[in-house]
Structure 1
Amino acid sequence: MYSLRSACLLFPLFLSALAKPAASVSSVETRGFSDLISNLESSLEAVGYLAQGITQDVTLLVSALRDVQDGKIDPVTTLEEALGSLGNVRNASDVGLIGVAIDVVTNGLAPKNILDLVKGLTNEPLNSMNNDNSEEPSSPIFPKKASDDAPYSLSEEELRKTIYIPDEFQYGANGKRPVLLIPGTANAAGTTYYFNYEKLLSESDFADPVWINIPGNTLADIQVTAEYIAYAINYISGISQDTKIGVIAWSQGSIDVQWTLKYWPSTRDSVDDFLVISGEFHGSLSAEPCLVQNPLCTPAIRQQGYDSNLIKTLLAEDGDSAYVPTTSVYSGIDELVAPQVGPNASARLKDVRGVGVTNTQIQLACPGLPAGSLYTHDPMLFNPLVYALFVDALTHEGPADLSRIDLDTVCNQVLAPGLVLTDLLGTEVEVYVYNVIDFMSFGYMGSSEEPPIKDYARISS
């Protein structure tokens, strides 16, 4: 259901065995490649007696990383090679996330300059959750912007400081519409989008990216995550001449935003486009990492299950229909969200409110062509058809219209125009290699129970 589902089965064993958790990789300003390998190696002895298979997987990953460092693995040099290498990466549901990380490295998708490649991870401000946002919105949005908004359990200071506004942000001027980027489970927005939508949108003449870094890397209660998003939507609009903004959400972010739009109705007046990558509005039937109690079976992971109380509550009262113009794009071979094909695909939304919805499975739009080929859950972040549809939505009224897309051109592209091989590799390494290491260090030590539904939602459901 998200890029680190398999890790949640593996890393509780590491964390419980380590006397002192290592510092988070993403919180360290500069870190040598050897240090990262040593971080993995130091975990092996501690957990070796717990799980032979896990120890073996981590040993293989360490060996592969050292082979990269020593020049024993030839990196891919062309987009065509990269696409072929993606096809050699095994399914995470079969081999686990460490197995996928091994495949990424051994198939040349993690070149020798891996540290430079993911410099966004070591750029601490990018993922800052303590930002100084002194600009006041045009009208008050706290404690409520509208009387029927759900109440906040967090303070305005807590909500506002997680919003990251780049220095180049133009506050709705010069025809650049603000676009708020929402991360997925166990990911910080700054690094998730560093090699894709931060670059694509900042270099465009129609969009201006900002993002929100959720405390706890969105592992905690989705209902609380929605509070950060609700505030951020109205805040960014309110400091940008009340411009209606776009919102891009990946993976779990789709649920987070849909919950926000349902229970903070004022946000619907601030959003003109909801753009979804690898969404899971209906949860997932994929094997859950919460079959047994463990420290990393987090609230957010439980809430994403197909039969969770949160999903049932979200979908009630036409919550399976869009609240604002919505463009949802997904892959039929998504290895983490299921089902993701046919009319019951988890990423699909209905349109009972008549606001406009486009649901696009890339394999049906680009059958047998590069843009509709080997893109699974995470590679959708650099898929050319996804970006073409988002551009169309952001530059027209309503959701994207597939008939306006030059499919002869777009379907034969490997990457969204504006991205290069380095961006593909950066996204892959960030998601599959660095996030494994970072997640091991970060962890989640709260309750693994599904949180109760908030009073405001129980009343409506």
Structure 2
Amino acid sequence: MNKIKFFAISSIFILSACGSDGSTPTSASRVGASGFVASDTPAPPLEISSQELDSAVKCSEGFGPDSGRAVLLVPGATQTVESNFSWNYIPAFDKAGIPWCAVDLPNSNTGELQASSEYITHAIRKMFNTTKTKIAIVGFSQGGVMPRWSLKFFPDTRDMVEDMIGIAAANHGLIEANLLCAPPVVGCITSFTQIAVGAKWMDALNAGGETLAGIDYTQIYTRTDDVAIPNFDEANGVSSLRTGDGNKVNIATQDICLTNTADHFLVGSSDAVGFAIVSDALAHPGVASVERLQALTPGLCLTPFMPGVDPLMFPINFATKMMSTFAQSVTLQPKSTQEPALRCYAGGEC
């Protein structure tokens, strides 16, 4: 039976659980030599209080036990739910009657990623336990990468998620983060040390395969991205997912509209083509289809904004919400001079 998807649409110290013999499992018992975490591996406990985790999750009025399938929105690095989604995806969902939740992450999603991932893990569980229906996740940039950490290291969440959709996701690390974090005395915002190319966090995430069986992965990228680079093709792009057993597709906006010029922040906030790819993935079984999307042209290619974006307010919203929050976060959020250590459950020292 085909699954039905809505047209819709994102530092802790983990104490390891005791084994049946009373001993404490080592990191190797959670992460195999290949980096793969088995689906029957117990999830590490969440160290952040449930009250704090709950307070970070915002949901639509239509979300509840009878709402059916819902979408979890995860903002990008330096962004909040308000700055990233309040003027585009959220009004589009509300108008369509689509239930959604969104999660605000510490320090505008610039904090330590293993801690921030607890918020995402909690949101996944909360949504699934409320609706008893698998959810979809839509994440932008760093927010398109982080849910994969939850799916890998908190295996119970795998049966709660049907779609993992990344928009301009930094699945293979950001070269810019390496450059920004290069001066060791100055430091950079904490998550940048972990999302950099060659970071321990990034390597742990991708070890053993980038996708998991039973989940549909649609990755959206733009060849004119100015942050997630290089992103010229599927074979070498930063955003593309190429390994693992999950059902996956990588689609450039230019695969649908050759003349699309959306950059990193536009494809994650206002671009009609990016939204169309998200919507196609959520409206059909499996992943998004280039063939279905190409059938929407040329009309789609002539559409300047996605549903939910007010054309008259776009310049103000883009500047005062998304880009202003980006500038403030890069300037004011706490800095780190080195990457935080991996936790025990992720292969770090126990």
Aligned length: 305
Instruction: Report the residue type matching 2:72 in the other structure.
Output: L
SS in 2 for 1:246: strand
Quote how far apart the aligned CAs of 1:265 are.
1.3
Query: Which structure has more helix as a fraction of its residues?
Result: 1
Give the greater-gyration-radius structure (CA): 1
Q: Call closer, same or farther: CA 1:418–1:219 in 2, change over 3 Å.
A: closer
Gaps of 5+ in 1: 1-144
Q: From 332, 340, 349, give the equivalent of 1:451.
A: 340
Q: Retained in 2: the 8 A contact 1:281–1:320?
A: no
Quote how far apart the aligned CAs of 1:421 are.
0.9
Q: From 152, 157, 174, give the equivalent of 2:51.
A: 157
Q: From 145, 170, 173, give the equivalent of 1:283.
A: 173
How far apart, CA to CA, are the structure 2 residues paired with 1:209 and 1:439?
A: 28
Q: From 313, 317, 342, give the equivalent of 2:208.
A: 317
For residue 47 of structure 1, what is the aligned residue in structure 2? none
Quote how far apart the aligned CAs of 1:230 are.
0.5
For residue 245 of structure 1, what is the aligned residue in structure 2? 135
Segments of 4+ moved more than 4 angstroms? 320-323, 437-440
SS in 1 for 2:205: helix
Deviations 1:73-112 (A, max 9, x none): xxxxxxxxxxxxxxxxxxxxxxxxxxxxxxxxxxxxxxxx
Q: Call closer, same or farther: CA 1:364–1:323 in 2, change over 3 Å.
A: same
Deviations 1:355-395 (A, max 9, x none): 32121111232112xxx12x100001211111112222222
Instruction: Report the residue type matching 2:113 in the other structure.
Output: I
| Residue 436, structure 1, aligned to residue 323, structure 2 | no
Q: From 249, 269, 284, give the equivalent of 1:396.
A: 284
Instruction: Report the residue type matching 1:151 in the other structure.
Output: P
| Residue 379, structure 1, aligned to residue 266, structure 2 | yes
How far apart, CA to CA, are the structure 1 residues paired with 2:197 and 2:252?
A: 20
SS in 2 for 1:421: coil
Quote how far apart the aligned CAs of 1:169 are.
2.8
| Residue 422, structure 1, aligned to residue 309, structure 2 | no
SS in 2 for 1:210: strand
Q: Call closer, same or farther: CA 1:364–1:395 in 2, change over 3 Å.
A: closer
For residue 217 of structure 1, what is the aligned residue in structure 2? 108
For residue 162 of structure 2, what is the aligned residue in structure 1? 272
Q: Call closer, same or farther: CA 1:211–1:174 in 2, change over 3 Å.
A: closer
How far apart, CA to CA, are the structure 2 residues paired with 1:459 and 1:435?
A: 31
For residue 89 of structure 2, what is the aligned residue in structure 1? 197
Quote how far apart the aligned CAs of 1:304 are.
1.0
For residue 180 of structure 1, what is the aligned residue in structure 2? 72
How far apart, CA to CA, are the structure 2 residues paired with 1:295 and 1:208?
A: 43
SS in 1 for 2:76: coil
How far apart, CA to CA, are the structure 2 residues paired with 1:437 and 1:220?
A: 14
| Residue 358, structure 1, aligned to residue 249, structure 2 | yes
Instruction: Report the residue type matching 1:156 in the other structure.
Output: S
Quote how far apart the aligned CAs of 1:423 are.
4.9
For residue 118 of structure 2, what is the aligned residue in structure 1? 227
Q: Call closer, same or farther: CA 1:228–1:170 in 2, change over 3 Å.
A: closer
Deviations 1:206-257 (A, max 9, x none): x2121111122221211111111011101111112x1111111011112211
Report the TM-score, using the length of structure 2 for normalisation: 0.80
Instruction: Report the residue type matching 1:170 in the other structure.
Output: F
SS in 1 for 2:99: strand
Deviations 1:421-461 (A, max 9, x none): 13532134322235424664x4215x43201111111179x
Instruction: Report the residue type matching 1:383 in the other structure.
Output: D
Instruction: Report the residue type matching 2:50 in the other structure.
Output: E
Instruction: Report the residue type matching 1:427 in the other structure.
Output: F
Instruction: Report the residue type matching 2:265 in the other structure.
Output: D
Gaps of 5+ in 2: 1-38
| Residue 169, structure 1, aligned to residue 58, structure 2 | no
- Which has the higher relative contact order, 1 or 2, with Cα contacts under 8 A spaced 6 or more apart? 2
RMSD: 2.4
For residue 72 of structure 1, what is the aligned residue in structure 2? none
Report the TM-score, using the length of structure 1 for normalisation: 0.62
Q: Retained in 2: the 8 A contact 1:196–1:423?
A: no
Q: From 287, 292, 299, give the equivalent of 2:183.
A: 292
Quick one: percent identity of the two aligned structures?
23
How far apart, CA to CA, are the structure 2 residues paired with 1:250 and 1:438?
A: 16
Quote how far apart the aligned CAs of 1:295 are.
5.7
